Amino acid sequence: MAVVETRNLVKVFKQGELGAVNNVNLETREGEFLVLLGPSGSGKTTLLRMIAGLETPTSGEIRIGGEVVNDLTPRERGIAMVFQSYALYPHLSVYDNISFPLKAQKVPRPQHRQKVEWAAELLGIKHLLTRKPRQLSGGERQRVALARAIVREPRVFLLDEPLSNLDAKLRASAREELEQFHDRIKTTTIYVTHDQVEAMALGERIVVLHQGEVRQIGTPKEVYDQPADTFVATFLGSPPMNLLEFSDVIVGFRPEAFLPAPLVPGAAAVEFRYRVNYVEYLGAERVLYGSLEDAGFESKEIVSRLSWTMPSGYDAGTVHDFSVHEADLRFFDKKALKRAQPRPYPWR
Amino acid sequence: MALEDRRLGAAMFAPAAAYIALLIGGPFVLAVMYAFTDARIGTQGFHYVGLENFRSILQSPSFHAAVRNSIVFTVVAQIIIIVCSTVLSIALEKPFRGRKLVRFFILLPWVVPISLGAIGWKWILDSIYSVITWVLVWAHIYTPYSAPMWLGEPHLAMTSVILVHCWRLIPFSTVIMLAGLTAIPKDIPEAAAVDGAGFWRRMFWIDIPMMAPIIWVAVLFGTIFTFTDMTVVYILTAGGPFDSTQILPLLAFTTGIQGSDLAAGAATSLFLVPVLVLIAYFMLHAARRAEVT
């Protein structure tokens, strides 16, 4: 187990172009599950590959366990990585795949079988040891890749979108297994994903990346409830946070906080006239897409999320009073797009 | 529509079928026929003689030498070619400054017409004008009178012929293997690096096993090109000295065409068939395997 740190880490692929990773500073905690979250092209995979030693930083420092590892090869860093494609060796059996790191690291041969069986047992793939990767399902391949990663007990685990090749149902169960797996082995883990649900479910802390820069680091609750800027506010949450521009401030509120007026009692409620244009029925909830009747906001789409327990009657074409509690409003500076101090209503 | 499609398909296929029938099928049938007759160039008509041609060929010392040399020539050349082109393709896969230029120069021997290349080598290895000899004399390794005759001494001649043939075929194998190497997903060697494999382990445990199917294809093609090729030997040594570089296709050519004994030449060339059939079988097998994966 070890702490991974990056200091002013920069990666520029083409000279003169914007860096794929720009001045990233972060530090994991001992045994933490840290998720790097961002849209494609945000530099999260490049960042992970630099930590793994597969990509050389343009500038900056990477430390693992307090030691600068910039000039170390991947094998000297004591890390293990699970690739998006799993990158199993197709010509080797599952057993040989899992024992490959042991051979490569010159672990004495008599220990191999015991260690491979330990890893296979942990991941429930002991019955597959003689098979070849192509005879395995997606979920089984993912487990083999994980077993290959843990077998030599690395200091740090790096996972690059390991669930993205699984179908939706399998992904949910694999996510849960990953979580339990981390609870058992307690190795510092850095996990890359573009899927916010995965990030929220798995991460002890989430690093939100955009265009190579860290936008926010925080617990899932922090990044969701207290977004640092409008990017984080709209990237997390599905559907994303509603943003309304006023003269010098942007006001945001989550769709689930934008509710029929009778449901938001008290003086702290901020009221809008809301025209419902379209309703999406999702079983446990309804998502309303509409616009505000208030002057200046007619063209802006505003989304509301109603749980199935709430009253019906909010059909397309109808107009209602909707409210947001003042505590659920988030304010952003209009120029910097960063979080700003809350202000009393009205904002004009 | 189905009928039209089928007609179009037949039309597209016809040139290839005609080509094979006229230029490969025809001569092959003739060769089989002539092998059992006493046909000669410049005479009309021929008679059926049964297995007489095969009997006399099997007793000929030239034929024995040719079979032995063909095997040595093919096997040794293939080993050198595969080792060199595997190393070259691995070296050329990673981008570096001037890689395109290096690739161009390596490919050059394959692009040069085979006879021109061989004639160039004939001069390089010539008994009087050889630049190699000149350099060795200049470096005081040999005197002008003791210098080796590259094409005039049996073992040296065979070595020279094999090396020239390798020079010609290595680019071809390298290109095949480069294509195969680029087809290996990039993250597999990366996974091996993260798993802690050094250069040699990666090479022998990951790169080469994963290249195996493509190496196999290169070996099959190379074997055909080597086993049936006579140009290099014909131009450099014409099978000499004392049959020490005599090979089957050249023997068939010299007996059948230059020696006018069409029947014996045809019978000699038929000995190539079993080997080629075997290679064709493996080739189809390899092609099918490549399709599946």
Look at residue B44 and tell me whether its pLDDT is greater than 80.
no
What are the extents of the domains in chain A?
Answer: 4-225, 239-333
Supply A144's token pair.
């083999």
Look at chain B and report how many structural domains it folds into. 1
Mean pLDDT check: name the lowest of B3-7, B43-47, B83-87, B170-174.
B43-47
Q: For position B293, what pLDDT does the model report?
A: 44
| Positive or negative: CA dihedral A178, A180, A185, A187 | positive
* pLDDT per residue as tens digits for the range B216-252: 888 888 888 888 888 888 888 877 788 788 888 888 8
- Give the whole-angstrom CA distance, residue B131 versus residue B126: 8
**pLDDT at B289 (0 to 100):** 66
Distance CA(A35)–CA(A208), nearest Å, equals 8
From B173, B6, B196, B103, select the one nearest A74 (Cα to Cα).
B196
Please give the residue of chain A at the shortest CA–CA distance from B202: A104
Record: contact B195-A104, CB cut-off 8 A: yes
Fold of A239-333: OB fold (Dihydrolipoamide Acetyltransferase, E2P) (2.40.50)
pLDDT value for B41: 78
A238 and chain B in contact, CB less than 8 A: no
User: What is the pLDDT, as a whole number, of residue A305?
Assistant: 92
Q: Domain range for residue B238?
A: 60-292
Whether residue B204 lies within 8 A of chain A, CB to CB, comes out as no
Mean pLDDT score, B78-89: 91
Residue B217 falls inside a structural domain = yes
Query: B95-126, pLDDT tens digit by residue?
Result: 788 888 888 888 888 888 888 888 888 888 88
* Consecutive 10-residue averages of pLDDT for chain A (348 residues): 86 81 89 92 90 90 90 88 90 91 86 89 87 88 89 88 83 85 88 91 92 92 92 90 85 91 83 90 90 78 89 86 90 86 71
Shortest Cα distance, chain B CAs vs residue A67, angstroms: 18
pLDDT at B94 over 70: yes
In a domain, B187, yes or no: yes
* pLDDT for res B78: 92
Per CB-CB distance under 8 Å, the chain B contacts of A79 are: 194
Q: What is the pLDDT of residue A1?
A: 65
Whole-model pTM: value is 0.76
Partner-chain residue, chosen from A81, A91, A103, that has the shortest CB–CB distance to B194: A81
Share of chain B above pLDDT 70, in %: 98
Mean pLDDT in chain B? Answer: 84
List the single residue in B188, B197, B209 with the smallest CB-CB distance to A104: B197
In a domain, B32, yes or no: no
CATH at residue B271 = 1.10.3720.10
Identity of the residue in A52, A87, A104 whose CB atom sits nearest the CB atom of B185:
A87
A38 contact partners, CB below 8 Å, separation of at least 6: A44, A194, A208, A209, A210, A235
ω into B241 cis (within 30 of 0): yes
Interface of A with B in 130-149 (CB under 8 A): 134, 148
Query: What confidence score (pLDDT) does residue B292 get?
Result: 44
Does residue B2 lie in a domain region?
no
d(CA A73, CA A158) in angstroms, rounded, equals: 15
A4-225 maps to CATH 3.40.50.300: yes
- Residue B191, chain A, CB below 8 Å: the answer is yes
Q: Which pLDDT belongs to residue B147?
A: 76
Confidence of residue B18 (pLDDT cuts 50, 70, 90): very high
Q: Tell me if A65 sits within 8 A of A155, measured CB to CB.
A: yes
